[in-house]
Structure 1
Amino acid sequence: MAYDHEEQEQVELLKAWWKKNGNLITWIAIAGLLAFAGWTAFNTYQHKQALEASAMYDEVQRAASLKDNGKVQASAAAVVEKFPATSYAAMASMAAAKSAFEAGDLKASKAQLNWVVEKAKSVELRAIARLRLSSIALDEKNFDEGYKQLNGEFPKDFEGDVLDHKADLLVAQDKINDARVAYKSALDKMAEKHAGRQLVQIKLDALGGPLESTNDVAPAKK
C-alpha cells in the first residue's frame, strides 16, 4: 500500500516513538498481566485455604458434639497452627474453650479465650471471649480479673452484656444495690429482642427491693 508524504512521516514518528518507549510499555503490560495472574492465584489460594480450614473446623464441631474434649483440643490446635489468620481459627478456639470449660479444665479454657482476645480479627468474637473470661473469673472469685476483662474494648452493641456481667460480679461481692443498678442499666442498653434480656430481668427481680440510688454503673472503657 502506498503512503503519501504526510502519512509516511506519521509512520516514521510512530516507529521512532515505539523504538524509544516500546520496551517500557511492554514491561508495564507484562507487570499488569503478572499482577492479574497473581491476584487470580491469590484468590484461588485463599479459596482453597478457606475450604481446608472449614473442613478442619468441621472436625472440631464433630468432636464437640461427641463430648470428646481431647479431640476438640487437638483439632482446634491444628486449625490454629495451620490457619491462624482465618476466622475458623478463632471459632475453633472458642469451641475448644467451651469444651475445656465443660470438662472442668479452666486453665485450658482461659488459654483458648485469651488467644481469641489477642489474635482474632473479629471484634465480636473478641468481645465474647472477654465476657467468657469475666465469667470464669467470677467462678474463681477473682473479681479484679473479672472487672479487668470487662474494662477492655467492646463494640457498642455489647454495652448491655458488659453491665450484666458487672452486676454478676457485684452480686458475688454482696454489693446488692449496685448490682440492681447495673442490671437495670443493662436492660436499658439491651434491645427488646436481645437474647439475654429475659435472664437479666429475672436476676433483677430476684434481688427485689427498690433502687437506693440512680447512679448507673459505668460501661466498659472504650
Structure 2
Amino acid sequence: MSFDVLDEHEQGELVQKWLRENAMAIATGIALGLVLIFGWQQWKVHRAGQGAAAAAQYQALTDAVEAKKPDEALKVADSLRKEFPSSTYAVLAALQQADIAIGKNDLATAASALDWARQNAGLDSLKALLDLRSARVKLAQGDADAALKLIDALPKGDYAALAGELRGDALLKLGRTDEARTAYQEALSQVSDAAAQGRGVLQMKLDDLGGPAAAASVAVPPAPSAEKPAS
C-alpha cells in the first residue's frame, strides 16, 4: 500500500515507528553535526589566536631590527619559524634572517634562510621576490649560472627591472657582454620614472659596456654642410 493512500492516523503511526527505529542514527547525526560546527568555530578561534601571536612576534622582530639588535632579531625569527612555520610572518622572518646574514657576509646562512622561505611561501609574488634575493646571493657566492637559472625561471613581468638588472650582472660575470648589455637596456626600459632610485646605477652599468646612451654622449656631431657659392 502506497504512503499517499494511508489516512492521517496510519501516516502518524508509520512516522513514529520510523523515528523509534532510527532514533539512534538521528541522535548520532545531530551530535556529529554539533561537534563539527563547534570544532569549526574552535579552529577559527585558534587560527585567529595563532595569527595574532605570530603578528606580535613579527612586530618584536622588526623592532629589534630597527633598534640594530641583530642577535635579538635572530632569536625572535628562529622562534617564529619554529612556532608558526606555515604563516607568512615566518617567511618574512626568514627573509630578515637572510638580510642580517648578508650584512655579516655569511652568504651560506643567507642562502639557507632564503631556501626555507621559498619552500614555505604561499604567495607567488613573494616567491618571485625570494628567487631574486636567492639569485643575488648565488651571484655573490660566484655561482652566476645558478643565479641565471633562478632569474630566467621567474614569471614574465614580475619585478622586471630588478630581474633584468640582475640578469645583466650574471651574464656579465659569465663573460656574455653583449647579452648583458641587452639585459641592462631592457631593465632600463622598465623604469618609467627618470628620477627612480636605481635608474642611475642601471645607466652607469650600461654606459660601462658602451651602451647606446653612452655612445650618444661622445658621438662626434656631423660637420656642417658647405654653403653653395653664390652664382
Pair in the same fold by TM > 0.5: yes
**Which residue is 2:158 aligned to?**
158
AA matched with 1:21? N
**Which residue is 1:218 aligned to?**
none
1:114 is displaced (CA, Å) by: 1.2
Q: How does 1:60-79 map to 2 (within 5 A)?
A: 60-79=61-80
1:40 is displaced (CA, Å) by: 0.3
8 Å contact from structure 1 (residues 124, 155) kept in 2:
no
Counterpart CA distance in 1 for 2:106 and 2:129 is 19
**Which residue is 2:227 aligned to?**
none
1:205 is displaced (CA, Å) by: 4.8
Counterpart CA distance in 2 for 1:81 and 1:29 is 39
Instruction: State the identity as a percent.
Output: 28
1:132 is displaced (CA, Å) by: 1.1
Counterpart CA distance in 1 for 2:28 and 2:34 is 10
- Unaligned segments of structure 2, at least 5 residues: 1-5, 214-231
8 Å contact from structure 1 (residues 123, 155) kept in 2:
no
SS in 1 for 2:22: helix
8 Å contact from structure 2 (residues 145, 170) kept in 1:
no
Counterpart CA distance in 1 for 2:17 and 2:192 is 74
- Unaligned segments of structure 1, at least 5 residues: 212-222
1:125 is displaced (CA, Å) by: 2.1
Q: How does 1:69-108 map to 2 (within 5 A)?
A: 69-108=70-109
- Counting matched residue pairs gives 204
AA matched with 1:142? D
**Which residue is 2:31 aligned to?**
30
**Which residue is 1:219 aligned to?**
none
**Which residue is 1:204 aligned to?**
206
> Rg bigger for which structure?
2
Q: How does 1:211-222 map to 2 (within 5 A)?
A: none
**Which residue is 2:148 aligned to?**
147
Offset from partner CA, 1:149-204 (integer Å, 9 cap, x none): 3244x33432624333111112334433211211233355x4747x7773575243
1:97 is displaced (CA, Å) by: 0.9
SS in 2 for 1:180: helix
Counterpart CA distance in 2 for 1:200 and 1:10 is 87
Of 100-109 and 179-188, deviating more is: 179-188
**Which residue is 1:128 aligned to?**
129
Offset from partner CA, 1:117-136 (integer Å, 9 cap, x none): 22222222222122112112
